Structure 1
Amino acid sequence: MKLLALENPLIPSQYELNIEIDPLNTTFKGIITIALHKNKNINIKEFNKFKLHGKNLSITSATFANNNDLKVTSLIDQQQFLFESNDLLSLNDNEIYNLKIEYQGNINQIKTPNDKTQGLFISNFMSNDKNTANNYILATHCQPSFARLIFPCIDEPSIKTNFILSIKSLKRFNTVSVSKIDKIDESSSIDSMKTTHFEKTELLPTSLFGFVIGDLEEIHLDLPNMSKDSNALPITIYSPLKVTQATYTLDIIQKYLPLLSNFFNFKFPSNKLDFVLLPFLNDMVMENFSMITVQMDFLLFTPQSLANPNVRNQTIQLVVHELVHQWIGNYISFNSWEFLAFNESFATFLAYYLISKNDPDNNIWSTENYLQNELATAMIQDSDLPTSKSIHDRYNQRSHNNSGDDITTNDLFDPISYQKGISMLRTLQLSIGEDLFQKAMAELFEDTVTFHNVPIKSMDIFHKLGQILKSENVTNFVSSWTRLPGLPIVSVTTTIDETSKSLKSTLTQHRFYSSENIDPDFDQQTVEDIPYHITLLTQLPGKLSDTKNTLMTDRSLKLDYPVTLLNSNSQGYYRVSYESQECYDEICKELTLGNIDDISLFKIFQDISFYLGNKFFQKSIHISGTIQILNHIASSPKDITLKSLNLWKSLSEGLSLLQTIVQAAVVHNRRAIITKITKLVSKLSEKVDDWSIETISQLHDHHELSTFSKIIALTSTTKPTQDLCQELFKHIRQGPNDSIPIELVSSIYMTISYQMTNIKDWKKLFELVKTSSGIASHIIDFNSTSENEKIITLQNLAITNLGFVTTEELITKLLNFIDTNIAATGIENAFIGVNYNSQAIINKKDNTKVRDAVWKWFKLHYSGWKRNLTKGTGSDGRGEEKLEKIAFMVLQMFVESSKLIEKYENFEDIKPVWETLQHEDRSNCTIISGFSK
């Protein structure tokens, strides 16, 4: 797409805008005077035509200051106006061409959250003291390119101009814009109208311009010596209603605005700051210069809402993020939407850093939300080889795919690039050092000519940082992370040097990718595998930090000392693979000394979870190393309990790895593997210091409960666990109230189901499938929003675990129940236990196994299900999907019996499911192979 800023003979340096708005009309009137000057990108001396952006505007006249009327043609498909003069006009370097345009624009009516809040839009609302919806809010939203809906302009981020705004509207309205009010003229002959004149703005791109008028309440405070002119900075929050519920936002601003000013060594870059809360805003938040608009639900809170720490923390993050933008993104702005993800990354990175540094109870870098929901999620998506692209290419793809008329910020924003950018900035800061990074960033604001007067590229910041720090590594580091696709994996081998008898380490990096969506015949040699610039974040024995080798830029790096961990505290955007016995020996040794925290051990296990079943990256040492670490914990002295270790997050992840291995062993009937893991986890269960109902009912930590649940599930065949679960099941059924956390219910049901030998026992669980209302009060569930939701969850858990039975009578009973209720929601989950016990013998006379009975039953009923469970049928409307899931779990019991399945008379009907199963089973085969080795 061609840019007007590059091809137009004239570009603007100032917009003087006069707008008249009546909320009862669907249009507004505008007069704009644009100061235009020669475009230095074009080498011509005369012109007779030029263009400006405009959409849904009606221009009535366009005149240069010399009274030269211009012909105006609307180029609707280009969202532009063509201005033409009858005469050729000279184009001089220093001449200003004042263009006056009279026009009319549309006011966008907003009635629902789905309506587009673009350009100038209006919504009305119920006033606090009246029963009529005759209060109004008119607001603007210009990002990325909606200023053209408000006035003719060059609506591109590569141009910054000053704005002078005057708005004529109702006297009762509050009027807010991106600069301070200069004066208010109420001398209009129309008594109900006033004209508000604003000061000239700072240099801004059109996307950061805006105003709001309407029936607004306000709260206010002054921050001393904080504005750009060293006077008190007025902070005002406006809202159409309940503005006093936004006082928490004032508290946040009062704390963090000075911290940001100190970080940049630069006062707030305007002489006022407003937050304007709006009933509707599609982008939810917009960081207009010194006038931040926010969808009001994000900042209006009752005292009861603020009692929730999650609400407080999310609010702090939002507000500080928008404050950061006033320095980076606004005062320093970017010349292309290519840098949108970086702009947002920087605001979030710095907000997270300042909050973590100044709020000891809110270290965001170590939270579940950052490490799992944000960072880990992006890494998973970026590991998909067919879709993985560099930050640079991701923007180009989005820009190409979204070339229509109504491109939104969301269309241009890439969440993976955003998360990758946050991690890049965080690791760069850690590599440089927090103090040096801060001082270098502050120096940017000393060069206003380069970093304020014109928009920049994001790389300009890093070039400058490199100059300040006298290091080429800064720009090379950032270039690596923006130009290379995907993410790296660093392999670590620690070995004993035969000469010195000391431990030494070798690090090797490659590009990491999952094998899930890759063709079996894929050739690794075709993968782009250029070395990344990796901040190692190395922890040495004794919990020391490696300050000697902090950055890895080549394929391999040899260290003459051992390492304990790479990527400590899980801040880097890469995976680590420990690939020698000595690595795990060092990890176990440091665990004993208490030098490995929960997050770091969790990261070891989490990375291994992405190697398990991945034929390109799984090593047998990953499986044996996991077992070694867990066995080391289980073998610790008797006085050391799991509670005293406080490694719940990592233990839960480590046990998840064992569950994955067990599942592969179940599918391929490798009972020796299951027995070995059962013994290990039984040993670990002995480290639980108290399994009493009194203790269990007091458990609230999600990871601790997850650990206990997995211990129960992995030892469900052992007598101690079975005895425990009989007692816990009694409390589930009989109480007292709030006895059992819901996180334990599934594994308890599983163990109970596995022990069942007769119909009487089976009915105790089966009754809970029909209804769990009688036990709901006995269960602790902090996640359910209602009692009914809790009951439904408990019923689904009963269905899911009903099938772990291993007698012929109960298998028959179960299969009849499934067939009778085949259309019921979630009935397919009853096969989970059947699948798990598929190799169990249920008739010793003829060695009939569970799977034999299921296959006979499946063949008998499949055709009937296929007729009845057509697309869109069933109580949940997912008949076809349900049938595929049932077929998948049944066929999985015969994954090593291809000939039997292929002889089935209706094989063509189930062939797609069988092929999917064979494809997905590759990971199980890889796991089994790795365990065997």
Structure 2
Amino acid sequence: MAPPTDRDILPDTIKPINYDLSLFNLDLGGSWGYDGLLKIDSEVKSDTKELVINAKHLEIKNAQVFVKNGTSPVTSSSDISYDKKNERATIKFSENIPAGNAIIAIEYKGTINNNMAGFYRSKYKPTVTPAAGVPTDGEVHYMFSTQFEACEARRAFPCFDEPNLKASFEFEVEIPDDLVALSNMPEKNVTKGSKDGLKKVAFEKTPAMSTYLAAWAIGDFEYVEAFTERKYNGKNLPVRVYTTRGLKDQGKFALEHAHKIIDYFSEIFGIDYPLPKSDLLAVHEFAMGAMENWGLVTYRTTAVLYDEGKSDAKFKNRVAYVVAHELAHQWFGNLVTMDWWNELWLNEGFATWVGWLAIDHLHPEWKVWSQFVAEGYQQALQLDSLRASHPIEVPVRNALEVDQIFDQISYLKGSSVIRMLSNHLGQDVFLKGVGDYLRAHAYGNARTNDLWAALSAASGQDVLAFMDPWIRKIGFPVVTVAEEPGQISIRQERFLSTGDVKTEENETTWWVPVGLKTGTPPKVEHSALTSKEDTVRNVDDSFYKINADQSGFYRTNYPPPRLVKLGENQDLLSTEDKIGLLGDATALAVSGHGTTPALLALLEGFQKERSYLVWQAIAGSLAKVRSVFASNKEISSALKKFTLKLVSPAAESVGWDFPTDEEWLTGQSRKLLLAAAAGAGHEAIIAEGKKKFAAWKSGDQKAIHQDLRGVIFNLAVANGGQEEFDAVKAEFLRTTSVDGKEIVIQALGRSKNYDNAISLLEFVTSNAVPPQDAHSGIIAVAANTETRKAAWQFTKSNWAHVYERLGGTSVVIDRWIKNGLVNYSDTEIRDDIADFFKDKETGSFSRSLVIISDTITGNANYKKRDEAQLLEWLKAHSYA
């Protein structure tokens, strides 16, 4: 079969079968260099004199080719050249490499970098005395690990760095005697090193896998261990959480979940976990949340560690979910891998959905599907409502472009349409199809249509026909409802947040599950809208809602009187229904399909709401409106009063105390409601928070409950002066809590002082804060309507410094830009951003710049359109 022409890929003359990699002469703490010897067992299709292979920041010293079992090389390298732009090396040989089986032996030099990509080093401050062999620089010590997705394995060793060029791996590394080495597979043996004080650690051979899933780590590690309850090949599998010395107890919460999740996935997929062990490693500097390396999953510390005595309880939910997401990849992504990066969503969308499925199984009391609708689903709709969005399956010619599609479309829209499909087919049928797909393509690669074929066979339905537009077309529909006695007419068109869909942008007809909930008590009738317009009959005029439980990925536009009625019939709505209703009303106000007064009238009806997840949706709606109209002081003040009236009863009712054995969701409600009331100026809550802060500042560490650090630090900084700002900033260096630094940065962003905002941005881009955490600072400043302009002014004035500090990893600089500059409602700032970046290198965040421009345009249009009528409504209802 000819290679695809829509991909910029390596020549297919030579393909890898097995990598045998040995690393030695690691200069830990000096030049950070190392030597590598790589033997690639290869299949050579036809005689050739050259090898083109991926390599980045590597120096290839020489290469030789041996035939299988031969002791003398048949040819050696005569010339080595590098294509830095495409990250490739071309090795020319003096004689032909004969067709057939060959071993290519490459000697090279590499560097352990500090860019959180490839084979890299992480700084940390140890909590206990570390092993003598740990490299150190004053108070700072180092651990070493890898991050190869998407195209960074080539930074660590020369390789065929494409997902469908799978090969097995054998790995060996020489390290100091008192350090620990980990890799994808268990240790095979440990032997004496080349000199005293060193040892060689070799690992078992992996199954065939993509280069981006290879992994190793070196450090002063310790672990907590558990075993699966199910047996695999007659044995209970060891599951371990590794940390640097002194932190292992904080891995127990993740460990409790990990071994149960492995058993759960083995059961629901009908395929046993494929490797002989599962390790989870906490990495101190990490650009993403986690990485699903097969058998050795790596995590940002806040995504895997939890300190029962010090951590905020919200991190329980995060840790459990991220552990489940990464373990889902061990099957979906690792056992079966997408054929090429355009189908990244196959990995990420599925792992997101099934990660939540596992947490719902383990923690039904958390109501995670309501959380998914409130968070993931709404974020996906928000991004996908922009012209700057992209299809779930997006063309990727050059793999170096792929980092920017690790976004809410691939993860959250992907998982939302999978949830929609699973709900339609039935979860058992859906999972049977998934299991069939995994068995059919195990240890290989697959495409989206392979999944649809397996699901079609399992369900007896033509899944491809109704899912194809959801995957390959941009956007989603808004379904507009018109009422007639006993029936409704429904019409679909593409939804844009700017509300100005052009004819050529409205050509897609989606398969839309209607999910009519109607009657008293309500029942759900399933049908689908498969044309632009249709009529739904047997509708009870007293109550109906479409898109029951928000399982379909679309917005619904009701006639204004119906929206009011739905607000009055909350007892007939599920939590997901309420969240969907609020999300839709907010988005429709922004786009002009609805109005802000209609949204506020709906919100007024939720004063007695009990659900944390509904309050989360309410808070999100209010934050959007308050953000867009922040520059109008009269409206801003009135919206504050509106918020205060809405949240005060619930905030006063929930109180400050955390009873023993309280439900997790109730604790989350307390934080949200107290924070919302304080943000709206609730005098008694602010006074109590200040009192607790003063006691804490005076040395009483127990004055603030661990779950209320964010609430109290936020209100103290927001309602205080320099003294409060400095006291919270000092906590950054002092805290030993895994989540403490993140909480501090977010609180510092609440200062109403512009100079403090600049000071915070200087701080998070300094060496005092790891690059991975810098974006927390700009998010906090950008969310603060008093100091928001500092986010752009600082970025513009200090661009060289910001880029140097954060640009080493595309994910980190993209996050800074995307999260920091998207909240404006001013077209002058939009144009200034575009003008500033037009002559800059923006390859790693070009997509985000378009998203920013689209979002600001939509915000500005919304503000201009609704400002007068919003003020009029607020005055008429005595808020202004």
* Same fold per superposition (TM over 0.5): yes
CA distance, structure 1, for counterparts of residue 503 and residue 8 of structure 2: 44
Which one-letter code corresponds to 1:381 in the other structure?
A: L
CA separation of 1:560/1:98 partners in 2, compared to 1, >3 Å: closer, same or farther? same
CA separation of 1:245/1:466 partners in 2, compared to 1, >3 Å: closer, same or farther? same
Which one-letter code corresponds to 1:446 in the other structure?
A: R
CA separation of 1:788/1:334 partners in 2, compared to 1, >3 Å: closer, same or farther? same
CA distance, structure 2, for counterparts of residue 645 and residue 301 of structure 1: 25
Residue 341 of structure 1, CA deviation: 3.8
Name whichever of 786-795 and 484-493 sits farther off: 786-795
> In the alignment, which residue of structure 1 is the partner of 2:765?
none
Residues 480-629 of structure 1 aligned to structure 2 (within 5 Å): 480-496=469-485, 503-515=486-498, 524-549=502-527, 551-562=528-539, 564-579=544-559, 583=562, 587=566, 591=570, 594-597=571-574, 599-612=576-589, 614-615=591-592, 617-618=593-594
CA distance, structure 2, for counterparts of residue 200 and residue 16 of structure 1: 9
> In the alignment, which residue of structure 2 is the partner of 1:164?
170
> In the alignment, which residue of structure 2 is the partner of 1:79?
87
CA distance, structure 2, for counterparts of residue 31 and residue 659 of structure 1: 59
> In the alignment, which residue of structure 2 is the partner of 1:47?
48
> In the alignment, which residue of structure 2 is the partner of 1:58?
60
Secondary structure at 1:442's aligned position in 2? Answer: helix
Which one-letter code corresponds to 1:534 in the other structure?
A: V
Which one-letter code corresponds to 1:493 in the other structure?
A: A
Q: Tell me whether 1:441 sits opposite 2:434 in the alignment.
A: yes
Which one-letter code corresponds to 1:388 in the other structure?
A: S
Residue 253 of structure 1, CA deviation: 1.2
> In the alignment, which residue of structure 2 is the partner of 1:343?
347
Deviations for 1:647-678, whole angstroms, at most 9, x for unmatched residues? 97499689969999xx99x9999xxxx9xxx9
Q: Tell me whether 1:468 sits opposite 2:445 in the alignment.
A: no
Residue 431 of structure 1, CA deviation: 1.0
Residues 123-272 of structure 1 aligned to structure 2 (within 5 Å): 126=126, 128-129=128-129, 134-135=134-135, 137-186=143-192, 190-227=195-232, 229-242=233-246, 243-272=248-277
Instruction: Give the conservation status (yes or no) of the 8 Å contact 2:356–2:369.
Output: yes
Residues 897-912 of structure 1 aligned to structure 2 (within 5 Å): none
Residue 605 of structure 1, CA deviation: 4.1
Secondary structure at 2:355's aligned position in 1? Answer: helix
Which one-letter code corresponds to 2:392 in the other structure?
A: I
Q: Tell me whether 1:327 sits opposite 2:331 in the alignment.
A: yes
CA separation of 1:141/1:182 partners in 2, compared to 1, >3 Å: closer, same or farther? same
Which one-letter code corresponds to 1:268 in the other structure?
A: Y
User: Which of 283, 288, 299 matches 2:288?
Assistant: 283
Residue 423 of structure 1, CA deviation: 0.8
Which one-letter code corresponds to 1:785 in the other structure?
A: F
Instruction: Give the conservation status (yes or no) of the 8 Å contact 2:162–2:210.
Output: yes
Instruction: Give the conservation status (yes or no) of the 8 Å contact 1:62–1:69.
Output: yes
Residues 627-642 of structure 1 aligned to structure 2 (within 5 Å): 642=608
Instruction: Give the conservation status (yes or no) of the 8 Å contact 1:164–1:201.
Output: yes
Residue 490 of structure 1, CA deviation: 0.8
Name whichever of 82-91 and 53-62 sits farther off: 82-91
Deviations for 1:677-735, whole angstroms, at most 9, x for unmatched residues? x9xx9xx99x999899999999975787799999xx9xxxxxxxxxxx9xx97x799x8
CA distance, structure 2, for counterparts of residue 433 and residue 120 of structure 1: 44
Which one-letter code corresponds to 2:381 in the other structure?
A: M
> In the alignment, which residue of structure 1 is the partner of 2:728?
none
Residue 428 of structure 1, CA deviation: 1.0
Task: Could you tell me which runs of 5 or more consecutive residues in structure 2 were left unpaired when the two chains were aligned.
Answer: 136-141, 658-665, 694-702, 725-751, 756-791, 799-820, 829-858
Instruction: Give the conservation status (yes or no) of the 8 Å contact 2:689–2:716.
Output: no
Deviations for 1:357-390, whole angstroms, at most 9, x for unmatched residues? 33122122212xx4444332332232233x2332
Instruction: Give the conservation status (yes or no) of the 8 Å contact 2:144–2:219.
Output: yes
CA separation of 1:471/1:38 partners in 2, compared to 1, >3 Å: closer, same or farther? farther
> In the alignment, which residue of structure 2 is the partner of 1:838?
none
Name whichever of 572-581 and 132-141 sits farther off: 132-141
Secondary structure at 1:232's aligned position in 2? Answer: strand
Instruction: Give the conservation status (yes or no) of the 8 Å contact 2:133–2:178.
Output: no
Q: Tell me whether 1:391 sits opposite 2:375 in the alignment.
A: no
CA distance, structure 2, for counterparts of residue 476 and residue 344 of structure 1: 22
CA distance, structure 2, for counterparts of residue 193 and residue 338 of structure 1: 44
CA separation of 1:16/1:785 partners in 2, compared to 1, >3 Å: closer, same or farther? same
Secondary structure at 1:304's aligned position in 2? Answer: coil
Which one-letter code corresponds to 2:336 in the other structure?
A: I
Which one-letter code corresponds to 1:425 in the other structure?
A: I
Instruction: Give the conservation status (yes or no) of the 8 Å contact 2:677–2:685.
Output: no
Which one-letter code corresponds to 1:263 in the other structure?
A: I
Residue 191 of structure 1, CA deviation: 4.0
CA separation of 1:929/1:466 partners in 2, compared to 1, >3 Å: closer, same or farther? farther
Secondary structure at 2:336's aligned position in 1? Answer: coil
> In the alignment, which residue of structure 2 is the partner of 1:791?
719
Residue 544 of structure 1, CA deviation: 4.2
Task: Could you tell me which runs of 5 or more consecutive residues in structure 1 were left unpaired when the two chains were aligned.
Answer: 40-44, 497-502, 635-640, 714-724, 743-775, 797-823, 828-870, 889-915
Instruction: Give the conservation status (yes or no) of the 8 Å contact 1:492–1:577.
Output: yes
CA separation of 1:544/1:433 partners in 2, compared to 1, >3 Å: closer, same or farther? farther
Residue 339 of structure 1, CA deviation: 2.5
Instruction: Give the conservation status (yes or no) of the 8 Å contact 1:5–1:154.
Output: no
CA distance, structure 1, for counterparts of residue 240 and residue 20 of structure 2: 25
CA separation of 1:538/1:269 partners in 2, compared to 1, >3 Å: closer, same or farther? farther
Secondary structure at 1:792's aligned position in 2? Answer: coil
* RMSD across aligned positions (CA): 5.0
**Percent identity at matched positions?**
18
How many residue pairs match? The answer is 706
Q: Kindly name which structure, 1 or 2, has the bigger radius of gyration based on alpha carbons.
A: 1
Residue 312 of structure 1, CA deviation: 1.0
Secondary structure at 1:513's aligned position in 2? Answer: coil
Residue 35 of structure 1, CA deviation: 1.7
Residue 204 of structure 1, CA deviation: 0.6
Deviations for 1:252-274, whole angstroms, at most 9, x for unmatched residues? 11322211111111111101111
Q: Tell me whether 1:17 sits opposite 2:7 in the alignment.
A: no
Instruction: Give the conservation status (yes or no) of the 8 Å contact 1:341–1:415.
Output: no
Instruction: Give the conservation status (yes or no) of the 8 Å contact 1:126–1:133.
Output: no
CA distance, structure 1, for counterparts of residue 495 and residue 34 of structure 2: 56
Residue 740 of structure 1, CA deviation: 12
Instruction: Give the conservation status (yes or no) of the 8 Å contact 1:537–1:567.
Output: yes
Instruction: Give the conservation status (yes or no) of the 8 Å contact 2:479–2:493.
Output: yes
CA distance, structure 1, for counterparts of residue 510 and residue 622 of structure 2: 30
TM-score (norm 2): 0.69
Deviations for 1:766-824, whole angstroms, at most 9, x for unmatched residues? xxxxxxxxxx99xx99713177415339999xxxxxxxxxxxxxxxxxxxxxxxxxxx9
Name whichever of 370-379 and 130-139 sits farther off: 130-139
CA distance, structure 2, for counterparts of residue 560 and residue 296 of structure 1: 53
CA separation of 1:145/1:738 partners in 2, compared to 1, >3 Å: closer, same or farther? closer
Instruction: Give the conservation status (yes or no) of the 8 Å contact 2:133–2:176.
Output: no
CA distance, structure 2, for counterparts of residue 644 and residue 292 of structure 1: 38
CA separation of 1:131/1:559 partners in 2, compared to 1, >3 Å: closer, same or farther? closer
CA separation of 1:490/1:740 partners in 2, compared to 1, >3 Å: closer, same or farther? farther
> In the alignment, which residue of structure 1 is the partner of 2:866?
923
CA distance, structure 2, for counterparts of residue 314 and residue 99 of structure 1: 44
Deviations for 1:743-782, whole angstroms, at most 9, x for unmatched residues? xxxxxxxxxxxxxxxxxxxxxxxxxxxxxxxxx99xx997
Which one-letter code corresponds to 2:468 in the other structure?
A: S
User: Which of 359, 365, 368 matches 1:361?
Assistant: 365
Instruction: Give the conservation status (yes or no) of the 8 Å contact 1:630–1:654.
Output: no
CA distance, structure 1, for counterparts of residue 19 and residue 611 of structure 2: 65
> In the alignment, which residue of structure 2 is the partner of 1:867?
none
CA distance, structure 1, for counterparts of residue 17 and residue 587 of structure 2: 53
Which one-letter code corresponds to 1:438 in the other structure?
A: L
Higher relative contact order (CA 8 A, sep 6+): 2
